[in-house]
Amino acid sequence: MTLTDNASKAAPLTQGATGTSGATIRDPRLDFYRGIAMFIILFAHTPGNFFTSWIPARWGFSDATEIFVFCSGMASAIAFGRTFDRAGWTLGTARVGYRVWQVYWAHIGMFFFIAMMLAFWDSFGIFEKRYIGTLNLVPFFDGVTRGGELVSTTADQLVGIFTLTYVPNYFDILPMYMVILVMMPAVMALARINLYLMFTVIAVVWLFAQEGVLEIFGAGDMTINFPAEPWSAREWFFNPFGWQLVFFTGFAFMRGWIPAPPVKWWLIALALIVVLANIPLSNIGVRAVNREWFGLVMEGNPVVEWRVANKPWISKSDFGLFRYIHFLSLAYLAWVAAGVGGHRLIASGTGWLSRLWGGIVAVIMKVGQQSLAVFLFSMVLARVLGFAYDQIERSTAVVTTGNLIGCAALICVAYFVAYIKGQPWRVKPR
């Protein structure tokens, strides 16, 4: 069975992904939810931001990272899938390689800009903390010494940055994304042979990324991942071989390899049960049982004990199975809420409430459309906001104001990048 045969037998999740002229039509649901993820990512990466106590990640196993990766898979199916279909596997691979090249230099630029910024703050010598230590960049600037002996030099870390063998935790999302993109041509080739073979390979690769699960069966040394630093055994926090599962799930939905799920009351109820059942076992649940309830104080913390005992299944690093189930349940509810084609996101009335909702959705979608640029900017802005809170205070008013300013900045970046991409300097012929 060929890829063309597969595509013709299953309609993609987004009907009308391409117009009659062949131009790509954006899915409002994709841009809307990815835009929401961008705001959450800013909150989550800002040091000392109390907003992070109430983001979706605190209510269940999955978080904004799943939204970002899943939507990136869907967007990649639109952006690159048609190239594979129209121009063939070789040129499709070349286009993916070009995107990897872009993301690679975005990663390098982001790292050096943030490292420079932290070093600049430290150069004043007047702040209580050493800011390069806040992101564990001391080895990059000072090298690594053990027992009075230099075991890893700054030159080693410089080489490691460019070869992706030195990946500090704050800078590990884009390397994970690059590796998954590199896997895409192989997935497309397998899909040409047989879809079941492709899904089997994806599942097997994910399984061998599950260190905790493999350890249960005495095969922990067979885990696949990449080294994160040359002086220790630490590996990439975001294991791309685990996270590719959620990426290619979104990719498969958009390609039509997995049919869109039906809207059934029992499926909605099942998804709600999964989501609600996660809450007592989430970070919110951990906080709840630590408090006094009706004059009784819980001895120990059964939620923490459960999470420790089931760590392999909720691992964020390896993308554990329970995270996958929780995210799919959330994604289904979000898909149902948005309606067919995302029609519930698009305001159809003429009243002021309808216009207000339409404006909010349009802004969020714009942020989602420029996700790479917005993500890079947010990673820098998060450190700036954290620095500002250190110098002022972390009162409710200050942090709330900082979050609002940060959201406004992301919106401005999204609109500016969209404006530049429109090449306004080109003179249109009369």
In angstroms, the CA 137 to CA 167 distance is 10
Buried b (16+ CB within 10 A) or exposed e, 196-231: eebbeebeebbbbbbbbbbeeeeeeeebbbbbbbbb
Tracing tokens 């998954």 back to the chain, one arrives at 180
pTM given for the model: 0.90
Q: What is the mean pLDDT of each run of 10 residues along the chain (430 residues)?
A: 40 46 65 95 94 90 93 93 93 96 97 97 91 92 88 91 94 96 97 96 96 88 92 94 97 94 95 94 82 54 85 94 96 92 78 86 94 96 96 94 97 96 81
Q: What is the pLDDT of residue 9?
A: 41
In angstroms, the CA 280 to CA 20 distance is 49
Q: What is the pLDDT of residue 25?
A: 60
SS (H, E, C) 111-129: HHHHHHHHHHHHHCCCCCC
Q: What is the pLDDT of residue 18?
A: 44
Burial class (CB in 10 A: 0-12, 13-18, 19+), 162: exposed
Q: What is the pLDDT of residue 24?
A: 52
Closest residue by Cα to residue 329 from 254, 251, 249, 256 = 249
Q: What is the pLDDT of residue 353?
A: 83
In angstroms, the CA 117 to CA 135 distance is 12
Q: What is the pLDDT of residue 149?
A: 86
Answer yes or no: are the C-beta atoms of 257 and 192 closer than 8 Å: no
In one-letter notation, the amino acid at residue 328 is: L
Which tokens in the block code for residue 306?
Answer: 């459960």
